[in-house]
Amino acid sequence: MDTWPSALNCVATVTRPESPRAPPAGAEGASAGFLLRFRRIYILPTRQGMGFAGAVSVMLLGAINYGNALGYVLSFMLVGASLVSMLHAVRNLAGLRLANDDHAPVFAGDMARFVLRVDNRGQRQRFGLLARLASGQGRGRENDPVVHFGLAADSVKRIELQAIASRRGWYSPGRVVIATRFPFGLFRAWSRIEIGLRCLVYPQPAGEQAPPEYQPEDPGEQGTRGKGEDDFSGLRDYQQGDSARRVHWKAVARGQGVPVKIFSGGAAGVTVLRWQDVTGGDTETRLSQLCRWILDCHAQGLRFRLCLPGVDIPADSGEMHRRRCLEALALYENAPDR
Amino acid sequence: MRADPETRHWTMTPERTLWITGCLALVVVPHGLRIPAWVLASFAALAGWRVANAMRGVPLPSKWLVIVLSATMLTAVYAAYGTLFGRDAGVALLVVLAGMKLMESRRLRDAYVLSALGYFLVITNFLYSQSILTGVTMLAVVLIMTATLIAFSTDSGELAPRARLRMAAGMLIQAAPIMLVLFFLFPRLPGPLWGLPRDAHGAVSGLSESMSPGRISRLSLSDAVAFRVTFQGKAPAPNQLYWRGPVLWHTDGWEWTSGQPARSWRAQYAELRGEPVDYTITIEPHQQFWLFALEVPTTIPLGAQMTQDFQLRTPKPVRTRRRYRMRSYPQARLSRASMEEQSAALALPPGMHPKARALAARWREQLQDDNAVVARALAYFGQQPFVYTLTPPLLKNDPVDEFLFDTRSGFCESYASSFAVLMRAAGIPARIVTGYQGGELNPLGDYLIVRQRDAHAWTEVWLDDRGWVRVDPTGAVAPNRIQLGMDAAIPPVMGPAGLGLPSTGPLWETWRRWRHGIDALKSGWNDWVLGYGPRRQHELLALLGVDAGDLRALFLSMLAIVVGMLGLLALWLARRRLGPADPIARIYRRFCAKLARAGVTRRASEGPLDFAARVVAARPQLREPVESITGMYVALRYAGGDMPMGKLKRAVRAFRPR
């Protein structure tokens, strides 16, 4: 029943207070964040709250029937405490600032990680908070990961929310729900906030077609080396998207992590990855194959050029180039922005 | 039911288990003597099992065992009480349910069911006792239960137990004004909504409508309060404090009962003389059909009736504490008696009390005047060696003859009944009045406390020229009883005297003062908490200019006030920091405030290091203290260092920016 694998992404990541060095780099505009105001916070009784209300009603009926003064006192005390707890529930959320940090692009089918920065300024500790992505219309799907956390006075926490990025393109998981049942669990106060969570999803690398041959990039500048030469130049750690063929399996078997072989070859040559070189398949399949090629080429340190209908990225190599190419794939033909 | 993804992670941690089990134990313990021992024992065993599970990982019973156990225990409760409803069976049932529920509580829902059971058990305690002590104890329990609710809805480790208790106390204090408004304004309905179970009320206490030897002396052992009286003017002299209760006309030789005339509702007749006495009585529930009033009552409380012999009777037993205003004329004369009444007041059981009859006949022969006969009889009690005692020897055959001629020691009921028999035998109509005599003035609350030990019986004789005249033969034997009250005649068994200490002296006075203080508290509690019912609500609302009958207006105003209070509370909360204020941050704020006065204000988005850099840039002369303080603050706040806070505090105190 309650065997939900808790290891799965329900973890609040960095929980140490924000470094005192003011807003983190790279979060220029977002540094102020979204301030949760009272009017944006909704509150409704929980299932337990309804049950509690029923119990208090029965107690009040009993007090009336028996004419029991202390019965009245207790019932009204509980009514009062429940009402007061509503204020405290709302107050537990109000004044928080939420902002999103940059989100690394992912490949389709992988978990997209969204980092929500919850900033608790002021001298109040916050208790029993939870955050999750507001997917769907209702309270969330059964398997929605929920992150539970609390915040010390004047502190910041980074909450990692995850969702499976199923399709390439821009992925907006929608709004974030931040909720609390504090203090008594009789009411749930919550807010759904649009803070512009967005993450770029590359096509899923797939396909077994052989990459195109190297080509002399420019006859005039042809290098001295022969083409097709693949020189093993070293090992580095496995990165997402690396081809399984390049994994140094022997080292893996020796328990030395997952090294990947890097080849330096054809420094003077260039691989042209063309849309039309992919044989058969629909757009997504082709993009997946191109994605695989880009990753392979990048892994080998090759210079490559990407030619898509309407897009031509000149030959280059390196991290920036890889990213440019993958972005082009992700956004090819106005991938539906979700 | 679909599991809520937001609460799915919730588990019954050992800490939560200990808290809720402790709460339940705290509410079950006061019931300890009221429930069968096996119910208590099984609860203790189940609670222990659950605690062992939480602490040591002892496995909980299987679902089937729980079902079988529950069924067995429910059957046993049914077998013990013959029902599952009603007060006593209900409590046993709740205790059993709480124990069983502990066995299978794993989820959030279960935890809240346990909490609800706990609150129910609190309220069942009030069905047995509504004393201040019970109230205070249960308030403490409610505080712990509320802290348990906080433990249910915060993650473990977020709040220490003490912080949780403090927070729960804060919430209850904030809830108190709302509770008070609801308590005083929520429409109070008279009488039960549905039939009360037979055991809803306590045992009959106080006087009953019959009198036999030993009945009243038993009451005299009780310190329980019968009623309290506040006089509007000056209180009458102690020997005038006769609180009239049931009037007894009929005797079978052993027992006196009310008889026919006592139930007569014909008009009462009294010649009003002297000054009236105005007073308010707050009577404790005694489950009987009458109220008490100072002789001679001339007003009738709402809902009561007055019989021809000036008893105040109620159509229903007095089941709740009640307050009523009265006016009495202690000097009034009851100057009428019908022939029927006179003959009823002369009847004697045939064949009983031969010696008493003979004595009375002798007096009658010697004396013509009825007044003289009465005086002669009182003189007899005064001259013969009569003893006033709570523990008279047992009377075997004829209680009147044996008392008058053999044992000569007895309590007020013996004196009153033998005096009435003597009068009747002498041809003078006589009846017995039961009630209370005297009372203890509480200087702290300026009111009179009448206790069960003040229960008394006296007689009234019909004298043609004076009407019904009160004659108290006990006064002839033990004048202190009437003049100074019961404590003077027979010291109370409680307190220092009960320990064999003298009933005078400083210790005794301290004891009395303490007792008065406690009683003043109790009296206020009774008036404003326990005795607050439809009648008092009516009075209070009339005072506020609200018609208690207009339920709609009452509800709306109640709602408006509560909403207004919540609004005020919200404003107050918004201005106030909840929770343990961070002392380090407070010191740092003081530092920032000093800088702000010196002209450098920290921006909301500015971190301490950035701020320090800006300050140093603007005021290079402050470089050293600002960097040192900021460094200490950052170390304390963010590095979690174990540096003592005092250094930072001193540095900030010494900091004088210019």
Q: B594-612 pLDDT, tens per residue?
A: 888 888 888 877 888 888 8
Of the candidates B472, B487, B519, B527, the residue annotated as catalytic is B472
State how far residue A130 is from chain B, nearest Cα, in angstroms. 8
- List the single residue in A65, A72, A182 with the smallest CB-CB distance to B183: A72
* For residue B323, pLDDT beyond 70: yes
Domain match, A171 and A305 both: no
Residues of A in contact with B191 (CB under 8 A): 67
Domain match, A178 and A275 both: no
Residue B151: count other Cβ atoms within 10 Å of its Cβ: 23
- Mean pLDDT value of segment A11-15: 35
Residues of B in contact with A153 (CB under 8 A): 579, 581-582, 585
- Low-confidence winner among A273-287, B183-197, B235-249, B361-375 (lowest mean pLDDT): B183-197
Mutate to test the interface with A, among B153, B198, B573 (most CBs of A within 10 A): B153
Residue A144 · residue A133 · CB < 8 Å: yes
State how far residue A68 is from chain B, nearest Cα, in angstroms. 7
CA neighbor of A9 nearest in space, from A112, A80, A91, A106: A112
CA neighbor of B420 nearest in space, from B434, B408, B437, B436: B434
Domain match, A76 and A190 both: yes
- Say yes or no for a CB contact (<8 Å) between B178 and A83: yes
Number of domains forming the structure of chain A: 2
Per residue in A51-68, pLDDT tens?
999 999 999 998 988 888
Look at residue A10 in the predicted model and tell me its pLDDT.
Answer: 34
Q: In which band, very low, low, confident or very high, does the pLDDT at A337 lie, cut at 50, 70 and 90? A: very low
Per residue in B512-532, pLDDT tens?
788 778 877 877 887 788 878
Residue with tokens 């990225």: A313
- Say yes or no for a CB contact (<8 Å) between A185 and B529: no
Residue B50 · residue B12 · CB < 8 Å: no
How many A-B residue pairs are in contact by the CB < 8 A criterion?
A: 231
| Residue in chain A nearest B123 by alpha carbon | A71
Task: For chain A, report the end-to-end CA distance as a whole number of angstroms.
Answer: 33
| Residue in chain A nearest B114 by alpha carbon | A52
Per residue in B523-564, pLDDT tens?
788 778 887 878 788 888 888 887 777 788 888 889 999 999
| Residue in chain A nearest B583 by alpha carbon | A123
- Say yes or no for a CB contact (<8 Å) between B582 and A154: yes
Residue with tokens 């997917």: A135
- List the single residue in B158, B176, B189 with the smallest CB-CB distance to A150: B158
Q: What residues are paired with A133 via a beta bridge?
A: A176
Residue A207, in any domain of the structure: no
* For residue A137, pLDDT beyond 60: no
CA B533 from chain centre, in angstroms, equals: 14
State how far residue A115 is from chain B, nearest Cα, in angstroms. 19
* For residue B196, pLDDT beyond 70: no
Please state the pTM of the whole predicted model. 0.67
- Low-confidence winner among A3-12, B6-15, B493-502, B504-513 (lowest mean pLDDT): A3-12
- List the single residue in B130, B179, B320 with the smallest CB-CB distance to A77: B179
Q: What residues are paired with B457 via a beta bridge?
A: B434
* Cα B297 to Cα B304: distance, rounded to the nearest angstrom: 12
Residues of B in contact with A51 (CB under 8 A): 109, 112-113, 116
**Can you give the residue range of the structural domain that contains A276?**
214-219+227-330
Selected residue with higher pLDDT from B216 and A48: A48
Residue with tokens 């200990």: B18
Look at residue A260 in the predicted model and tell me its pLDDT.
Answer: 74
- Mean pLDDT value of segment B486-510: 59
- List the single residue in B112, B119, B607 with the smallest CB-CB distance to A48: B112
CA angle A314, A317, A320 (to 5 degrees): 90
Q: Which helix (H) or strand (E) holds B553?
A: helix B551-575
Residue A305, in any domain of the structure: yes
Which of the residue ranges A76-90, B49-63, B254-268, B609-623 has the most confident prediction, judged by mean pLDDT?
A76-90
Selected residue with higher pLDDT from A225 and B453: B453
B286 labelled catalytic? no
Look at residue A24 in the predicted model and tell me its pLDDT.
Answer: 38
Look at residue B643 in the predicted model and tell me its pLDDT.
Answer: 63
- Please name the residue ranges forming H helices in B154-262: 161-185, 215-219
Residue A212 DSSP one-character state: P
Look at residue A52 in the predicted model and tell me its pLDDT.
Answer: 96
- Say yes or no for a CB contact (<8 Å) between A88 and B126: no
* For residue A271, pLDDT beyond 80: yes
- Say yes or no for a CB contact (<8 Å) between B8 and A51: no
Q: Is B388 helix (H, G, I), strand (E, B) or coil?
A: strand
Q: Is B470 helix (H, G, I), strand (E, B) or coil?
A: strand
* For residue A179, pLDDT beyond 90: yes
Residues of A in contact with B566 (CB under 8 A): 83-84, 86-87
* Cα B219 to Cα B225: distance, rounded to the nearest angstrom: 11
Task: For chain B, report the end-to-end CA distance as a whole number of angstroms.
Answer: 67
Q: Is A270 helix (H, G, I), strand (E, B) or coil?
A: strand
CA B137 from chain centre, in angstroms, equals: 13
- List the single residue in B154, B585, B610 with the smallest CB-CB distance to A22: B610
CA B34 from chain centre, in angstroms, equals: 18
Residue A71, in any domain of the structure: yes
Residues of B in contact with A77 (CB under 8 A): 142, 172, 175-176, 179
Look at residue B580 in the predicted model and tell me its pLDDT.
Answer: 47
- Low-confidence winner among B7-16, B181-190, B214-223, B358-367 (lowest mean pLDDT): B214-223
Domain match, A38 and A178 both: yes
Average pLDDT, chain B: 83
- Say yes or no for a CB contact (<8 Å) between A91 and B174: no
Q: What residues are paired with B460 via a beta bridge?
A: B431, B470
Half-sphere exposure of A129 (CA within 13 A, CB side): 27
- Say yes or no for a CB contact (<8 Å) between B175 and A81: yes
Residue B530 DSSP one-character state: I
B592 labelled catalytic? no
Domain match, A123 and A248 both: no
Residue B231 · residue B250 · CB < 8 Å: no
Q: In which band, very low, low, confident or very high, does the pLDDT at A240 lie, cut at 50, 70 and 90? A: low
Look at residue A45 in the predicted model and tell me its pLDDT.
Answer: 95
Look at residue A221 in the predicted model and tell me its pLDDT.
Answer: 42
Residue B73 · residue B42 · CB < 8 Å: yes
Q: What residues are paired with A307 via a beta bridge?
A: A274, A312
Look at residue A335 in the predicted model and tell me its pLDDT.
Answer: 52
Between the CA of residue B220 and those of A316, B255, B435, B490, what are the distances in Å?
110, 19, 12, 9
Look at residue A84 in the predicted model and tell me its pLDDT.
Answer: 95
Which two three-digit tokens encode residue B413?
A: 């009921």
Percent of chain B with pLDDT over 90: 24
Residue A75 · residue B179 · CB < 8 Å: no
Domain match, A48 and A102 both: yes
Of the candidates B412, B454, B519, B527, the residue annotated as catalytic is B412
* Cα A173 to Cα A196: distance, rounded to the nearest angstrom: 9
Q: Which helix (H) or strand (E) holds B589?
A: helix B583-597
Say which residues have a Cβ less than 8 Å from residue A4's Cβ, sequence separation at least 6.
A143, B8, B9
Of the candidates B31, B286, B353, B456, the residue annotated as catalytic is B456
Residue A99, in any domain of the structure: yes
> At A304, phi and psi to the nearest 5?
-145, 160
| Residue in chain B nearest A6 by alpha carbon | B9
Residue A335, in any domain of the structure: no
Residue B407 · residue B395 · CB < 8 Å: yes
- Cα dihedral B45, B46, B51, B57 sign: positive
Which two three-digit tokens encode residue A317?
A: 């190599």
- Say yes or no for a CB contact (<8 Å) between B182 and A80: yes
Domain match, A109 and A69 both: yes
Look at residue B487 in the predicted model and tell me its pLDDT.
Answer: 64
Residues of A in contact with B578 (CB under 8 A): 88, 91, 124-125
State how far residue B528 is from chain A, nearest Cα, in angstroms. 10
- Mean pLDDT value of segment B145-161: 89
Q: What residues are paired with A106 via a beta bridge?
A: A201
Q: Is A234 helix (H, G, I), strand (E, B) or coil?
A: strand
Domain match, A191 and A62 both: yes
Residue with tokens 């480790």: B157
| Residue in chain A nearest B112 by alpha carbon | A48
Between the CA of residue B4 and those of A5, A44, A164, B615, what are the distances in Å?
15, 15, 21, 51
* For residue B124, pLDDT beyond 80: yes
State how far residue B21 is from chain A, nearest Cα, in angstroms. 18
B201 labelled catalytic? no
State how far residue A48 is from chain B, nearest Cα, in angstroms. 6
Domain match, A175 and A117 both: yes
- Say yes or no for a CB contact (<8 Å) between B605 and A22: yes
| Residue in chain B nearest A20 by alpha carbon | B607
Say which residues have a Cβ less than 8 Å from residue A89's Cβ, sequence separation at least 6.
A43, A180, A181, A182, A183, A187, A188, A189
* For residue B109, pLDDT beyond 70: yes
Look at residue B288 in the predicted model and tell me its pLDDT.
Answer: 83
Residue A16, in any domain of the structure: no
Kindly provide the ipTM of the predicted complex, given to two decimals: 0.73
- List the single residue in A58, A68, A182 with the smallest CB-CB distance to B130: A68
- Low-confidence winner among A28-42, A82-96, B103-117, B387-401 (lowest mean pLDDT): A28-42
Mutate to test the interface with B, among A56, A87, A157 (most CBs of B within 10 A): A87
* Cα A332 to Cα B191: distance, rounded to the nearest angstrom: 79
- Low-confidence winner among B24-38, B99-113, B165-179, B474-488 (lowest mean pLDDT): B474-488
- Say yes or no for a CB contact (<8 Å) between A70 and B606: no
CA neighbor of B203 nearest in space, from B5, B452, B426, B445: B452
Residue A105, in any domain of the structure: yes
Residue B451 · residue B440 · CB < 8 Å: yes
- Say yes or no for a CB contact (<8 Å) between A127 and B158: yes
Q: In which band, very low, low, confident or very high, does the pLDDT at A20 lie, cut at 50, 70 and 90? A: very low
Mutate to test the interface with A, among B7, B10, B121, B525 (most CBs of A within 10 A): B7
Residue A33 DSSP one-character state: -
CA neighbor of B554 nearest in space, from B181, B190, B192: B181
Domain match, A156 and A78 both: yes
- Say yes or no for a CB contact (<8 Å) between A184 and B150: yes
Residue A183, in any domain of the structure: yes
Exposed / middle / buried, residue B545 (Cβ in 10 Å: 0-12, 13-18, 19+): exposed
Half-sphere exposure of B616 (CA within 13 A, CB side): 14
- Mean pLDDT value of segment A80-94: 94
> At B572, phi and psi to the nearest 5?
-65, -45
Q: Which helix (H) or strand (E) holds B648?
A: helix B645-654
- Say yes or no for a CB contact (<8 Å) between A70 and B130: yes
- Say yes or no for a CB contact (<8 Å) between A73 and B174: no
